[in-house]
Amino acid sequence: MQTSFTSEFIQSADGERVNNILRKCVHCGFCNATCPTYELTGNELDGPRGRIYLIKNFFEESLEENSEGSSNETSLKHLDRCLTCLACETTCPSGVKYGELVDIGRKHINASIQRPVLSKIKRKLILNAFSSSMRVGILLAIARIFKPLLPASLASKLPAKIKLSAISASGLGPSLGILSSSSRKMLTIKGCVQKAAAPQINFATKKVLADSDIQLDEANSACCGALAFHLTELDQAHATIRKNIDHWYQILNDGYEKILINSSGCSTFIKQYATIMQDDNAYADKAKFISEHCIDLSEIASELTPKAPHSREKTTKNSTNKTIAFHSPCTLQHGQNINGKIEEKLIQAGYNLVEVQDSHLCCGSAGTYSLLEGDMSSQLLENKVANLENNQPDMIVTANIGCLMHIQSGTKIPVKHWIELLV
């Protein structure tokens, strides 16, 4: 794709990246074929190719031509409607880094206009509410009390309350303690939404890893920074990233093998620290180190074989003849190009996996997308649930807390994190 950028823009860090990315695009349109939003609307501007042109035109137009901001508002509208699922990157034969391009485009276009006051307030409230596990827990407690008064669309999204006493009784509770005899040590984070909404996932992760002779310790950090970054609150995102890097860098140098993340949305974002912080001279090298040492839980799935005989028998007993529909999160299959590892482990554990049509398409969760783009998200959810339920599975399984909660709101079939099935 030819570009007509000023030399001044191309010499800037963002300008050089935008120019290099755009020049790889041959506008073939293969990306549109796997884009969930383009599939829904049929609007060229709701597909990757159209959004690429919007970003290109924004940077090529002069300040005078953009002074009224109307074209920028249209551009931002269509960029906001992008899920950033990265199915287009998986499909693209030319290796266009669409995700990086759309992040840069959002940053500059968002800065060029004033969002409506109510929109800004909503985005701020979402960020402040969901970036803290404590605040998420308080909100969930209040929402459960007033659930009968909530709109059905909102009430359906409330996760079932999990009692810590029940978790402990099942052998997954905090009583596990530190296993000093383990030959391997890995670090994890507490998380924000998952810790409050589905604490059993973290406990199951610790239990399965302990049975696999891997000690998993929680770092004193919560949000990875993804929420702020994707809401274009970049100062807050960068501050969170720097804080995490300072903490994790020291710990990793004290004998921990990896940072292991059991929610694919978070692991994908942490792996992007190197790209996000590449222009920060004080943190670029450390960010690269952190990204290189971050792994998703699925990457060691083949190594997770519980040692305790009763654990193995329990898994086999519970899994006999149960069918599973697996939803691979976009952040896993497209963001990290990880495919098949979880499915292989579940089959090995004795579960029967059913085929899911259009498994490459997003469920509509996409972080805060379901809260900001409700209509589009709801349609994507309806389509995804229909495909997941098609073969009448006993259970739906996924690898990301956002997908889990979103899908659960649209089906009566139990939805679980895959690690819970290995306990």
335-357 residue pLDDT tens? 999 999 999 999 999 999 999 99
Reported as half-sphere exposure (CB side, CA atoms, 13 A), residue 384 has a value of: 30
Q: What is the CA radius of gyration of the chain?
A: 22
- Give mean pLDDT, residues 224-248: 96
Residues 177 and 259 in one domain: yes
Q: Is the pLDDT of residue 161 over 50?
A: yes
Q: Is the pLDDT of residue 143 over 50?
A: yes
Residues 279 and 185 in one domain: yes
Q: How high is the pLDDT of residue 148?
A: 73
Residues 266 and 325 in one domain: no
- Give mean pLDDT, residues 77-94: 97
Q: How high is the pLDDT of residue 278?
A: 97
Between CA 350 and CA 355 the distance in angstroms is 16
Q: Is the pLDDT of residue 104 over 90?
A: yes
Q: In what order do the strands lie in the sheet with 214-219?
A: 214-219, 184-189, 259-261, 294-296
194 membership: H or E segment, kind and range:
helix 193-197
- Name the residue with higher pLDDT: 146 or 37: 37
Q: How high is the pLDDT of residue 176?
A: 36
Q: By three-state DSSP, how is residue 294 classified? A: strand
- Does a structural domain hold residue 277? yes
Residues 12 and 64 in one domain: yes
Q: How high is the pLDDT of residue 163?
A: 61
- Does a structural domain hold residue 105? yes
Q: How high is the pLDDT of residue 139?
A: 76
Q: Which domain holds residue 202?
A: 164-299
Residues 206 and 277 in one domain: yes
- Does a structural domain hold residue 283? yes
Between CA 375 and CA 55 the distance in angstroms is 24
Q: Using CA of residue 89, residue 93, residue 95, residue 100, what is the dihedral sign?
A: negative
Reported as half-sphere exposure (CB side, CA atoms, 13 A), residue 154 has a value of: 11
Q: Is the pLDDT of residue 194 over 80?
A: yes
- Does a structural domain hold residue 395? yes
Question: Which residue among 55, 84, 114 closes a domain?
Answer: 114
- Give mean pLDDT, residues 42-56: 97
Q: Residue 348: left if φ>0, alpha if ψ -120 to 50, beta else—which one?
A: alpha
Question: Which residue among 279, 299, 319 closes a domain?
Answer: 299
Give the model's confidence band at 133: pLDDT under 50 very low, under 70 low, under 90 confident, else very high.
Answer: confident
- Give mean pLDDT, residues 129-149: 77
Give the model's confidence band at 361: pLDDT under 50 very low, under 70 low, under 90 confident, else very high.
Answer: very high
Percent of the residues in the chain that have a pLDDT greater than 90, as a whole number:
73
- Does a structural domain hold residue 1? no
Q: Is the pLDDT of residue 66 over 50?
A: no
Q: How high is the pLDDT of residue 241?
A: 97
Chain center to CA of 206 = 21
Per the CB < 8 A criterion, the answer to whether 328 and 353 are in contact is: no
Per the CB < 8 A criterion, the answer to whether 66 and 112 are in contact is: yes
- Does a structural domain hold residue 158? no
Per the CB < 8 A criterion, the answer to whether 52 and 79 are in contact is: no
- Give mean pLDDT, residues 120-135: 88
Which residues face 324 on adjacent strands?
353, 395
- Name the residue with higher pLDDT: 72 or 262: 262
Residues 184 and 216 in one domain: yes
Give the model's confidence band at 141: pLDDT under 50 very low, under 70 low, under 90 confident, else very high.
Answer: confident
Between CA 367 and CA 237 the distance in angstroms is 15
Which of these, 357, 405, 362, lies nearest to 84 by C-alpha position? Answer: 362
Q: Which residues contact 133 (CB under 8 A, 6 or more apart)?
A: 190, 191, 192, 193, 195, 196, 222
The CA–CA distances, whole Å, from 393 to 47, 321, 355 equal 32, 11, 10
Q: How high is the pLDDT of residue 305?
A: 77
Residues 356 and 295 in one domain: no
Between CA 177 and CA 18 the distance in angstroms is 48
Q: How high is the pLDDT of residue 92?
A: 97
- Does a structural domain hold residue 261? yes
Q: Rounded to the nearest 5°, which phi and psi values hold at 207?
A: -65, -50
Q: How high is the pLDDT of residue 172?
A: 43
Length of the chain: 423
Q: Is the pLDDT of residue 178 over 90?
A: no
Between CA 219 and CA 187 the distance in angstroms is 6
End-to-end Cα spacing for the chain: 51
Q: How high is the pLDDT of residue 69?
A: 52
Question: Parallel, antiparallel, or unpaired for β 395-398 and 323-326?
Answer: parallel
- Name the residue with higher pLDDT: 368 or 157: 368
The CATH code of the domain that includes 360 is 3.40.50.1860
Per the CB < 8 A criterion, the answer to whether 325 and 389 are in contact is: yes
Residues 285 and 402 in one domain: no
- Does a structural domain hold residue 375? yes
Residue 354 CB neighbour total at 10 angstroms: 14
Residues 16 and 44 in one domain: yes
Between CA 350 and CA 394 the distance in angstroms is 14
Angle 152-393-363 (CA atoms, 0-180°, nearest 5)?
50
Give the mean pLDDT of the chain: 88
Residue 77 is encoded by which pair of tokens? 């509208």
In terms of average pLDDT, the best of 51-65, 122-136, 197-211 is 197-211
Q: Is the pLDDT of residue 67 over 80?
A: no
Residues 377 and 291 in one domain: no
Residues 175 and 272 in one domain: yes
Give the model's confidence band at 320: pLDDT under 50 very low, under 70 low, under 90 confident, else very high.
Answer: low
Q: Is the pLDDT of residue 165 over 60?
A: no
The 10s digit of each residue's pLDDT in 262-274 is: 999 999 999 999 9
The 10s digit of each residue's pLDDT in 362-408 is: 999 999 999 999 999 999 999 999 999 999 999 999 999 999 999 99
- Name the residue with higher pLDDT: 383 or 174: 383
Question: Which residue among 299, 322, 356 closes a domain?
Answer: 299
Q: How high is the pLDDT of residue 311?
A: 44
Q: Is the pLDDT of residue 204 over 90?
A: yes
Low-confidence winner among 14-28, 54-68, 207-221, 248-262 (lowest mean pLDDT): 54-68
Residue 292 is encoded by which pair of tokens? 């290189």
For the chain, how many structural domains are there in total?
3
Percent of the residues in the chain that have a pLDDT greater than 70, as a whole number:
86
Residues 99 and 47 in one domain: yes
Q: How high is the pLDDT of residue 193?
A: 87
